[in-house]
Amino acid sequence: MRLILLGAPGAGKGTQANFIKEKYNIPQISTGDMLRAAIKAGTELGLAAKKVMDAGQLVSDDIIIGLVKARLQEADCANGYLFDGFPRTIAQADAMKDSGVAIDYVLEIDVPDDLIVERMSGRRSHPASGRVYHTKFNPPKVEGVDDLTGEPLVQRDDDKEETVKKRLQVYHTQTEVLLGYYNKWAQSGQPGAPKYRKISGVGPVEQVRDAAFAALSE
């Protein structure tokens, strides 16, 4: 199972990625993790990436694709792999395609923006324990305080409504074009084209999980 998970920030990709990884016994490929590992190991690509990052610049797609290809040679990728959060742009998708990175499925998890804003902006957390609540879906017994300690709950900056809306705007501008890109490729009938599946990310986590598994077995 070699797949790419697509969807807006807050659509539940991370949660579903965990279910998919377990079911198919595949690793989740994170470009951030790969960069850190390559830099720590002092590989040629890692040193090149460090030089760019130390200069305050973005690591080029060439370096990222090089890291991806090296990562996919590792033993744990024998059964396949899962990309979440990559590719982010058409240029990266083209680079993956040109490099011959095989993809069986592209799975889109679709959640309307207003629901994502409600999901994320309602989150409250207890910093010391990591316990997470939601003002609507999982409220604390007493508003604004942790059930066990009575200490105040906080809203992370990432979960503030204006931040969520900005992240969604960036997604719609930069990454949403990938939905059309992969859909078109899937329908092209070209050799090596992935299957494109779209499921709703609305509803209980288990319901979305079952829909994902069903889509990936078609």
The one catalytic residue in 88, 131, 160, 165 is 88
Q: Is 14 annotated among the ligand-binding residues?
A: yes
For the question of residue 13 being annotated catalytic, the response is yes
Name the token pair of 120. 């994320």
Three-state SS string across 101-125, please?
A: CCCCEEEEEECCHHHHHHHHHCEEE
80 is in an annotated binding site: no
Catalytic residue among 13, 97, 197, 209: 13
SS3 131: strand
Question: Among candidates 34, 106, 94, which has minimal Cα distance to 70?
Answer: 34
Q: How far apart are CA 102 and CA 1, in angstroms?
A: 10
Is residue 3 part of an annotated ligand binding site?
A: no
23 is catalytic: no
Contact call for residues 195 and 106 (beta carbons, < 8 A): yes
User: Is 167 one of the catalytic residues?
Assistant: yes
Is 59 annotated to bind a ligand? Reply is: yes
**Residue of 23, 40, 51, 156 marked active site:** 156
What residues does 107 pair with on adjacent strands?
5, 197
2 in a known ligand binding site: no
Residue 174 is assigned to a ligand binding site = no
58 is in an annotated binding site: yes
Using DSSP's 3-state secondary structure scheme, residue 139 falls into coil
Residue 32 labelled as part of a binding site: no
Catalytic residue among 21, 69, 160, 167: 167
List the binding residues for ATP: 10-15, 123, 132-133, 203
List the binding residues for AMP: 31, 36, 57-59, 85-88, 92, 156, 167
Catalytic residues: 13, 88, 123, 156, 167
List the binding residues: 10-15, 31, 36, 57-59, 85-88, 92, 123, 132-133, 156, 167, 203
